[in-house]
Amino acid sequence: MVDFEPCVSSYAHDACSVLVPLTQIQSPLARTVLDAERALKILAGIRAGDALPPVEVDVPPQAVAALRYRLKDGFHRYHLSSVLGFTHIPVVVQEYFEFEL
């Protein structure tokens, strides 16, 4: 996929999700480790045009307009979308809850 250049704004997804600009999602911690095998499966799905699940986000009460969403699930899809040059990502907005790391 060296020469991959997206001609659409996001990977294929189902109609139950909403497209959100990647720039509105708070970038997860830089130390997020991607599993190579999982990443390759996702890349194969993107290449085949398969509908992939949306990522899960929530909206923290202290969120600012530019970074409205916080990623809860879908780190591989988020990072791969960014690296591949997609501008948007399908999301499902979940109810906000505070969690401790």
Residue 11 lies in a domain: no
pLDDT score, position 57: 94
Residue 47 lies in a domain: yes
Residue 15 lies in a domain: no
Residue 3 lies in a domain: no
Residue 84 lies in a domain: yes
pLDDT score, position 101: 53
pLDDT score, position 51: 94
Cβ neighbours around 25 below 10 Å, total: 21
- The total number of structural domains in the chain stands at 1
Spell out, as residue ranges, where the chain has pLDDT lower than 50. none
pLDDT score, position 30: 62
Domain range for 60 is: 23-93
Residue 73 lies in a domain: yes
Question: For 74-99, how does the pLDDT look when each residue is reduced to its tens digit (9 = 90+)?
Answer: 999 999 999 999 999 999 998 887 76
Residue 81 lies in a domain: yes
Residue 45 lies in a domain: yes
Measured CA to CA, the distance from residue 52 to residue 55 in angstroms comes to 9
